[in-house]
Chain A
């Protein structure tokens, strides 16, 4: 009896937390996904494969699936070349401004995709600033290029998604042990041989990880295909179409195919990633950036640096510049002529215009807050306990990672369009809460991963030391664990918030009158030719995300 009481006293809080995290993960991740699966099979006569058969008997649908996969693979290839090239460019060579270029190269991660798409349309679209300038300069009668369809989307993907490769490869270049390069030279290896036998194996795991991330975001991408895909149709845009026309079973089938494609690729690459993982044998010598002494080569390098800076800055400058264009003054002219603060004044004085901004901030805060409450204990259980079911927990936590945003949105609709026990038998479809919940589900893996990294760096003996000094589990968590891992938690929260605040895909599928977010307002303003207003919304988001990002970097130091 004594033992039972002692057990309950010591472990009751722990068990409440275990039950809590499983309740949330099953209720908001697994159950909705399961409902989508059932919805794709359910007809009046019971479970059937009819919808799948219908889907695949239509040639157009097969084209859509092929288009999606083609886009995913092309995105991986293009981003792989650009991101890896840039990582070597910045980390392998010693030049002035490398630091600034490095920071600039990371900016696309801080800007929500939909803003970049709109900025690109303003620059390279049919009546875009660059397009019109080229036409004017060369006196052309037709557009010099067609910025839409497959290549248009790919161009935007290249800009927004090279960052995964850039970041991961940069980190792995840091792991290259310079003494192994010296050893290879000493053994008579050529430059090419050194690259293939020493450098490449070190960066291969980073390439595999980045390929997974890029492929997943490539096949799930929505804003670029939606805004400039035209005849190039992919699954994510078709899901919105099916949902808008209220064909939920078709949307569910499309979601299942998208999910399946993602999972196959994820499994293949995870397998490859594991087989290429290698341990560093000894603490090595860090790589020394190479100085280019040849003045010709130096010039080429500097020109390249200038080009990179310009390419990255141009869309951001465009967003800032166009946000000052006076409403209704830029309709037929090639370049805008009248500027003012009107758009900003409109946002902050008209409550209808301000509402989307307010909605996005508050929904993102809620989603981030919930992801913290769930993510920190989950990361702790996965990384620091011997809990028997932690493998299952880990699987549930990374599941949203395999789900493109449109999948999460459809899952939420299928999961909460009827009363269910996880939310006290309420129906959530049509309520304010559904969209922030979808945001929350989308950022769970991010939160758990970033917190997990800090937890892994937290030495277990610190926890033991706290215990032997008389601290309870609660005190140890509050006074030792949380303060030490807080930079990781803050980084996760900031990145999560940034991802939610400009989110477009789930928003397009789930928003209602009460919670129209800023991304939807931006696109609507664009369609209503209020480009200035659309861009002013964009500027507000960029300012907020950059402030948060710099705060995060400061705290890390």
Chain B
């Protein structure tokens, strides 16, 4: 398994620059995610690594070797496509064995290896099934087995969960992650779903408009977003334009928030679950009286939309026995925004 190094990758379609000077390092055995909205360039970058897309500038290194000039079939890179791209003219066995046959392995070896990978993805006994007879999840597993059986240096996953229903998606997240751990294979995963990225990745790179906005581990990215795009894209947040002077963040010229020492920036971000809400005044720093304008029941949580003058603030409270029906619409309540939960961007 190898590490991947992308150095100054630039890609232009016509007049549009879809990737702007991207440099990234994906370590050996890492589960690395490219996360971003559609059209941000993440899939294009993945296809450049696979050799399916050309690029104008930059180099792709695999295990220290420049592979930029190699065609896709020579790169030792496995890929699972969004629609799985299973060959409809072949059975499950033939699909999985395809790469091995091209390598020229003998029949016996192919048979044994395919069987062991069918076991690995829990599809024993499916050898002779047609692709059309499989459910979405089963097709997904065949595609996975097919892409890793040739023991590639790196596995690329292009939004492989987007065609599955919610429950199956959760199950497949676990299965993919387990398979990756078992094989120890360097994996690059492309998704627009932030919860997928946060739950599966060792490291995440956030993309927007062809730029890489931030690279880090999931907790770091969630806790310390570097800019307003990351703060908004990864998880829910309250994001405000501010003027900062003397450790005070001034919003709309009339709301003043105390910050931790020495923070500079134009925005502040605070997660809805970091804001406390209660009925009686506690005289804390950053405590405000607000009015509840809307309550939304989300199952595990309750969302309160409150107004402070004209400022809208979103607050999440765990929906347990104590908090259930705690507040009503139009009620005046107090909220507290702890200094340490406020990110200055």
State the A residues within 8 Å of B (CB): 3, 6, 10, 459, 461-462, 464-472, 475, 479-480, 483-484
Instruction: Decide: B87 and A468 in contact? CB cutoff 8 A.
Output: no
Instruction: Decide: B89 and A468 in contact? CB cutoff 8 A.
Output: no
Which of A459, A468, A479 counts the most B-chain CB atoms under 10 A from its CB?
A: A468
User: Bound complex: CA of A10 vs CA of B71, how far in Å?
Assistant: 9
In the complex, chain A residues whose CB is within 8 Å of the CB of B103? 470
User: Bound complex: CA of A6 vs CA of B74, how far in Å?
Assistant: 13
Instruction: Decide: A459 and B73 in contact? CB cutoff 8 A.
Output: no
Instruction: Decide: A459 and B87 in contact? CB cutoff 8 A.
Output: no
Instruction: Decide: A470 and B102 in contact? CB cutoff 8 A.
Output: yes
Instruction: Decide: A464 and B99 in contact? CB cutoff 8 A.
Output: no
Asked whether A464 and B79 contact (CB < 8 A) given A469-B98, A469-B99, A471-B73, the answer is yes
Within the complex, which residue of A465, A472, A479 is in contact with B79, where a contact is CB–CB below 8 Å? A465
Instruction: Decide: B85 and A462 in contact? CB cutoff 8 A.
Output: yes
When C-beta atoms are compared, the residue in chain B nearest to A3 turns out to be: B69
- Chain B 87-108 per-residue mask, 1 if CB under 8 angstroms from chain A, else 0: 1110000000011001100000
When C-beta atoms are compared, the residue in chain A nearest to B81 turns out to be: A461
User: Bound complex: CA of A483 vs CA of B90, how far in Å?
Assistant: 10
When C-beta atoms are compared, the residue in chain B nearest to A6 turns out to be: B69
Q: How far is the CB of A481 from chain B (nearest CB, A)?
A: 10
Overall SS of chain A's interface: helix
- For the complex of A and B, 5 pairs with smallest distance between CB atoms: A465-B85, A467-B72, A469-B99, A461-B85, A483-B89
When C-beta atoms are compared, the residue in chain A nearest to B47 turns out to be: A464
User: Bound complex: CA of A471 vs CA of B99, how far in Å?
Assistant: 8
Instruction: Decide: B52 and A467 in contact? CB cutoff 8 A.
Output: yes
User: Bound complex: CA of A11 vs CA of B115, how far in Å?
Assistant: 37
Instruction: Decide: B73 and A468 in contact? CB cutoff 8 A.
Output: yes
Q: How far is the CB of B265 from chain A (nearest CB, A)?
A: 43
Instruction: Decide: B99 and A484 in contact? CB cutoff 8 A.
Output: no
In the complex, chain B residues whose CB is within 8 Å of the CB of A480? 87, 89
Interface membership of B201, Cβ < 8 A = no
- Bin chain B's interface residue count: 20 to 34
Within the complex, which residue of A6, A10, A459, A464 is in contact with B52, where a contact is CB–CB below 8 Å? A464
When C-beta atoms are compared, the residue in chain A nearest to B156 turns out to be: A468
Instruction: Decide: B81 and A464 in contact? CB cutoff 8 A.
Output: yes
Q: How far is the CB of B147 from chain A (nearest CB, A)?
A: 7
Instruction: Decide: A469 and B146 in contact? CB cutoff 8 A.
Output: yes
Instruction: Decide: B81 and A465 in contact? CB cutoff 8 A.
Output: yes
- Chain B 66-82 per-residue mask, 1 if CB under 8 angstroms from chain A, else 0: 00010111110111011
User: Bound complex: CA of A316 vs CA of B133, how far in Å?
Assistant: 43
- Chain B 149-161 per-residue mask, 1 if CB under 8 angstroms from chain A, else 0: 0100000100000
Interface membership of B50, Cβ < 8 A = yes
Within the complex, which residue of A3, A462, A467, A475 is in contact with B87, where a contact is CB–CB below 8 Å? A462
Can you list 30 contacts pairing A with B, beta carbon distance less than 8 Å?
Answer: A10-B71, A459-B85, A461-B81, A461-B82, A461-B83, A464-B52, A464-B81, A464-B85, A465-B86, A465-B146, A466-B87, A467-B52, A467-B71, A467-B73, A468-B52, A468-B75, A468-B77, A468-B78, A469-B78, A469-B98, A469-B102, A469-B146, A470-B99, A470-B102, A471-B73, A472-B73, A480-B87, A480-B89, A484-B88, A484-B89
Interface membership of B210, Cβ < 8 A = no
In the complex, chain B residues whose CB is within 8 Å of the CB of A472? 73
User: Bound complex: CA of A462 vs CA of B85, how far in Å?
Assistant: 5
In the complex, chain A residues whose CB is within 8 Å of the CB of B272? none
Interface residues of B in 34-88 (CB under 8 A from A): 47, 50-52, 69, 71-75, 77-79, 81-83, 85-88
In the complex, chain B residues whose CB is within 8 Å of the CB of A467? 51-52, 71-73
Asked whether A459 and B83 contact (CB < 8 A) given A470-B99, A470-B103, the answer is yes
Which of B72, B74, B77 counts the most A-chain CB atoms under 10 A from its CB?
A: B72
Interface residues of B in 295-330 (CB under 8 A from A): none
In the complex, chain B residues whose CB is within 8 Å of the CB of A459? 83, 85
Add 20 more A-B contacts to A469-B99, A470-B73 (CB < 8 A): A3-B69, A461-B82, A461-B85, A462-B85, A464-B72, A464-B79, A465-B86, A465-B87, A467-B52, A467-B71, A467-B72, A468-B78, A469-B146, A470-B74, A470-B99, A470-B103, A470-B150, A471-B73, A480-B87, A484-B89
User: Bound complex: CA of A229 vs CA of B77, how far in Å?
Assistant: 68
User: Bound complex: CA of A462 vs CA of B52, how far in Å?
Assistant: 12
When C-beta atoms are compared, the residue in chain B nearest to A469 turns out to be: B99
In the complex, chain A residues whose CB is within 8 Å of the CB of B146? 465, 469
Which of B75, B85, B86 counts the most A-chain CB atoms under 10 A from its CB?
A: B85
In the complex, chain B residues whose CB is within 8 Å of the CB of A468? 50-52, 72-73, 75, 77-79, 147, 156
User: Bound complex: CA of A103 vs CA of B206, how far in Å?
Assistant: 57
User: Bound complex: CA of A468 vs CA of B76, how far in Å?
Assistant: 8
Q: How far is the CB of A557 from chain B (nearest CB, A)?
A: 13
In the complex, chain B residues whose CB is within 8 Å of the CB of A470? 73-74, 99, 102-103, 150
When C-beta atoms are compared, the residue in chain B nearest to A460 turns out to be: B85
When C-beta atoms are compared, the residue in chain A nearest to B50 turns out to be: A468
In the complex, chain A residues whose CB is within 8 Å of the CB of B156? 468
User: Bound complex: CA of A483 vs CA of B88, how far in Å?
Assistant: 9
Q: How far is the CB of B189 from chain A (nearest CB, A)?
A: 15
Instruction: Decide: B81 and A471 in contact? CB cutoff 8 A.
Output: no
In the complex, chain B residues whose CB is within 8 Å of the CB of A483? 89
User: Bound complex: CA of A360 vs CA of B52, how far in Å?
Assistant: 47
User: Bound complex: CA of A6 vs CA of B69, how far in Å?
Assistant: 9
Interface residues of B in 6-53 (CB under 8 A from A): 47, 50-52
In the complex, chain B residues whose CB is within 8 Å of the CB of A469? 73, 78, 98-99, 102, 146-147, 150
- Chain B 259-277 per-residue mask, 1 if CB under 8 angstroms from chain A, else 0: 0000000000000000000
